[in-house]
Amino acid sequence: MRIIPAIDIMDGNVVRLRKGNPDDKVTYSNNPSEIAKKWEISGADILHVVDLDAALSTNKNNIEIISKLIEAVNIPVQVAGGIRSIEAINEMFSKNAAKVVLGTMAYKEPDSIRHIAKKKGEKIIVSIDQNDGKIMISGWREIAGPRIDEAINLFMSMGIREFLVTSVDRDGMLTGPDILTLSYASSFPGARIIASGGISSIEDIIRVRSIGCSSVILGKSLYDGNLSIEKVKALV
Ligand code: AMZ
């Protein structure tokens, strides 16, 4: 089970939102690279960095900060948020992102995903941000259209294997993972599921592992000290 801390960046700061609402935000640090190094030293396998300004289309972005963060650590960094063109994908790879996470673009331009998956399928993660079974895009403010099963089948037919499954109404809430949705997504043969949203305890991590998720994203639980990566790594 890979343990993946989330570093969500807004206006240069490390923040956590509740249910993706930019008006409901806690700021944890003004130094994302320092936080990245802290999680690396604690034993994180991968870092999950989200450019929230870009995801929420605030006309700002944190690309330079993310680029410095990638340079500051020796573990793989996957980058999400606002990567919505082939150029933006290539820019992230040129800055040594290990993988890119695609939401809006995947649903709005599936043909581009088909094209890029031919060369870089192993480095593309498709984001399934769901609320009540509906996949959300554009900063979680728009419904994408396809059902979860349709999305997984479509992107798997293109050679994508890895999916980030986030339950929007659990994100930042510490209310436990959405086991029903995560086990449904894990039931697609060959799909690797990264579980995200609501994880608050070691038991939650053991549950998502037992239903077949390959990785878990830790957010608020780490920042608030409910969980430590050292303890998690020792137990799972
Ligand atoms: O918190 C939010 N409102 C939010 C968020 N965390 N909106 C989008 N995102 C994340 C998704 C996904 O990983 O979980 O941004 C990524 C998708 O961005 P885009 O720009 O590709 O749709």
Distance CA 223, CA 65 (A): 20
Q: Look at residue 230 in the predicted model and tell me its pLDDT.
A: 97
Q: Which residues contact 122 (CB under 8 A, 6 or more apart)?
A: 161
CATH number of 2-235: 3.20.20.70
pLDDT band at 38 (very low <50, low <70, confident <90, very high): very high
Distance CA 219, CA 72 (A): 20
Q: Is 28 exposed, middle or buried (0-12, 13-18, 19+ CB in 10 A)?
A: middle
Residue percentage of the chain with pLDDT more than 90: 99
Ligand 1 atom closest to the CA of 8, numbered from 1:
6
Q: Look at residue 33 in the predicted model and tell me its pLDDT.
A: 98
Pocket test for ligand 1, best of 51, 84, 86, 101 (most atoms within 8 A of CB): 101
Q: Look at residue 236 in the predicted model and tell me its pLDDT.
A: 87
Side-chain-facing half-sphere of 87: CA atoms under 13 Å: 0
Q: Look at residue 71 in the predicted model and tell me its pLDDT.
A: 98
Distance CA 235, CA 47 (A): 20
Distance CA 83, CA 149 (A): 23
Distance CA 106, CA 166 (A): 15
pLDDT at position 52 over 90 = yes
Q: What is the pLDDT of residues 174-233, one digit of tens each?
A: 999 999 999 999 999 999 999 999 999 999 999 999 999 999 999 999 999 999 999 999
pLDDT band at 12 (very low <50, low <70, confident <90, very high): very high
Provide the 8-state DSSP code for 169. Answer: G
Ligand 1 atom closest to the CA of 101, numbered from 1:
13
Pocket test for ligand 1, best of 140, 167, 181 (most atoms within 8 A of CB): 140
pLDDT band at 156 (very low <50, low <70, confident <90, very high): very high
Q: Where are the domains of the chain?
A: 2-235
Q: Is 52 exposed, middle or buried (0-12, 13-18, 19+ CB in 10 A)?
A: buried
Chain mean pLDDT for the chain? 97
pLDDT at position 89 over 90 = yes
Distance CA 219, CA 227 (A): 10
Q: Give nearest CA residue, ligand 1 atom 6.
A: 20
Q: For the chain, how many residues are written? A: 236
Distance CA 201, CA 104 (A): 30
Q: What is the pLDDT of residues 91-129, one digit of tens each?
A: 999 999 999 999 999 999 999 999 999 999 999 999 999
C-alpha triplet 129, 135, 140: angle, nearest 5° = 60
